[in-house]
Structure 1
Amino acid sequence: MSTTWLITGATSGFGRLITERALAAGADVIAVGRRRDRLAELARLAPEGVRITTVELDLTAPEAEQVLTDAVRTAGGLDVLVNNAGYGLFGAVEQIDADEARAVLDTNVLAHLTVLRATLPALRASRGRVVQTSSLLGQFAWPSSGLYSATKGAVELLSEALAHELAPTGVKVTVVEPGTFATEFAGNLRVVSPADVYAPTVGKFLSDFAQLPPEAFGDPGTVADAVMTVAALDEPPLRLAVGADAVDHIRASLVSRLAELDRWEPLSLKATHGAAAGPV
């Protein structure tokens, strides 16, 4: 029996590769993207007997939720959502102006919520799968990644809550955390050049990153393969780091956070002694 997938950001990077793999596996696909020419390319790639519906859409547009709801209804339901659209914004936290910050939050966080609202009723009906694309930078931040990490951290935590909320319905949620891969991401990101005060931190990091050799960037097909695997699992992980650098950096961040928690535990307990228990 064929499954139906909805994939955002389907025209480039991980989204394009996942779309190609889903089509090759015989899935019907609702491919969502902003580039008409690339959506047409995907339509031509669809094997005979496989249905692809292309939706040219800016996910931050006011009508986006209704357009996606209508597409799912026309498709007759939905089994897998790959909530993948987004872009990078790098620069010193102080230097990211309000318009830049609002734009990246709209695309990387609020648009994800738009997609979820449009698709979750159908996914509950099918006891389907939600795959949320995050990043290794959803678990920690580097100099220059503050706003981008904030958006991916938001995706991580809203997805964790969503997994708990959907557990009784049978819908499974997985957050995929890719490391550094050779996609079009670098060509599409926005970089704010650092002021002199941030040259030793933000400037150095951006310079060092720009000088990484080609072999430092993994094969993006690895991420697409991982998505195909977790979407088929009966009990998929909540989080899946993909790439050796993602595993290493996330592990180092978690170890560092645990060490800090242990180091300052006496002060934490002293500060809260006698205080009423409960969340802040």
Structure 2
Amino acid sequence: MSSHSSHSPQSSRTVSQAPSHSKVVLITGTSSGIGLAAAVAAGQAGWRVVATLRNPGRADALSTAAAEAGVELDVRRLDVVDEASVAAAIDGVIADYGRLDAVINNAGAGHLGTLENESVADVREVMEVNFFGVLHVSKAALPHLRAAGGRLITVTSVGGVVGQPFNEAYCAAKFAVEGFMESLAPVAARVGVKVSVVEPGAVATEFVNNLGVDLEAEVAAAGPYADTLQAYLDRTVAQFLGSNVQTPAEAAEAVIEALEADRPAFRIQTSDWARGFTGTKLSDLDGSAVLGLTGEWVG
């Protein structure tokens, strides 16, 4: 099962006159979580923030957080899987502000499942949101980022480095994004665009809430994988309640680092735990360390 964590009615945007020198950042998936926190933090850092989401009717939490922080956001509709919606949003930013200095690809969809128990269409849907959605936005923005000497930042996941049980489609999409951006980065650098990926680990509230599924029903329907899935869920839910979990605001600090640093790294983890976890993979030449670790998660 999968669900969009952020992304059909028209936007309810309000454009105020920003100083002409204000840099403009467009952020996708800002209805909750890291996207919401990054939008507020970027506004506090002095950026003109175009905060986008698939359904502007879900902007209440974003608007409340912005008001509490004393920042003004320009909230607009953008559905990352709809190329016309992407084009309209990017064109609108250029029409209103004359520039686009940074894009933060944050919109995505959670997913839980394993290959035998789901359809290839299910997997394709996850790829559409988490991979091709990023490409739609990045492609539309690149000419403007190139003109501005700007930044292209994508929130991926530690699941973009380490494959994880029952996250096959999700990790495949995040692996694809990381490989694409790692390949694009030196090319984009030649035309003045800095490319980074930000890799969060466990972030409070997001795992269960964003899946939008009945976990007990998922286990009951898992057939020969039921015990394995239950073991995975027990471990993972405990992790999302444990000491390694971050708040969205804490994770968003790494996004702002990529946005503000003079020379941002390509790959930025959001916590010491995330650095250790991804480091297991990045130094694991034969794959045994990763499979030894994740094999323990499923009993």
Distance 2:222 2:63 in 1: 45
Alpha-carbon distance in 2 for matches of 1:50, 1:203? 43
1:70 and 2:63 correspond: no
Q: Relative to structure 1, is the Cα distance of residues 238 and 258 closer, same or farther in structure 2, using a 3 angstrom cutoff?
A: farther
TM-superposed CA distance for 1:215, in Å, is 3.0
Pick one of 197, 217, 226 that aligns with 2:245: 217
> CA offsets per residue over residues 164-187 of structure 1, 9 Å max, x none?
211111110111011111143430
Q: 1:18 aligns with which of 38, 48, 53?
A: 38
Shift of 1:155: 0.7
Q: Which of the residues 212, 232, 235 maps onto 2:263? A: 235
Is the 2:155–2:197 Cα contact (8 Å) retained in structure 1?
yes
1:55 matches 2:76 = yes
CA drift of 1:63 comes to 1.4
Contact 1:81 1:129 in 2 (8 A): yes
Q: Is the CA contact 1:27–1:50 (under 8 Å) kept in the aligned structure 2?
A: no
Q: Answer with 62-71 or 6-15: which moved more.
A: 62-71
Identity %: 34
Q: Which amino acid aligns with 2:277?
A: H
- Does the 8 Å CA contact 1:23/1:47 hold for their aligned counterparts? no
**Using a 3 Å threshold, how does the CA distance of structure 1 residues 49 and 256 change in structure 2: closer, same or farther?**
closer
Helix, strand or coil for the counterpart of 1:63? helix
Q: In the alignment, is the contact (CA less than 8 A) between 1:72 and 1:122 conserved in 2?
A: no
Residue 53 of structure 1 deviates from its aligned partner by: 2.6
Query: CA, structure 1 residues 197+148, in 2 after alignment: closer, same or farther (shift >3 Å)?
Result: same
Equivalent AA in structure 2 for residue 197 of structure 1:
P
Paired residues of 2:111 and 2:169 also in contact (CA < 8 A): yes
Choose which of 255, 278, 281 in structure 2 pairs with 1:250.
278
Question: Does 2:164 match 1:142?
Answer: yes
Contact 1:143 1:201 in 2 (8 A): no
The CA distance in 2 between the partners of 1:47 and 1:203, in whole Å, is 40
State TM-score, norm by structure 1.
0.84
CA RMSD in angstroms comes to 2.5
Instruction: Please say if residues 31 and 39 of structure 1, whose CA atoms lie closer than 8 Å, have aligned partners that are also in contact.
Output: no
Question: Normalised by the size of structure 2, how large is the TM-score?
Answer: 0.79
Q: Tell me how many residue pairs correspond in the alignment.
A: 261
SS of aligned partner of 2:234: helix
Q: Matched residues in 2 for 1:54 and 1:10: separation?
A: 9
Specify the SS of the correspondent of 1:257: coil
Query: Where do 5+ consecutive residues of structure 2 fail to align?
Result: 1-20, 289-299
Equivalent residue letter for 2:280: A
Q: Does structure 1 residue 35 correspond to structure 2 residue 49?
A: no
Give the AA of the match of 2:79. D
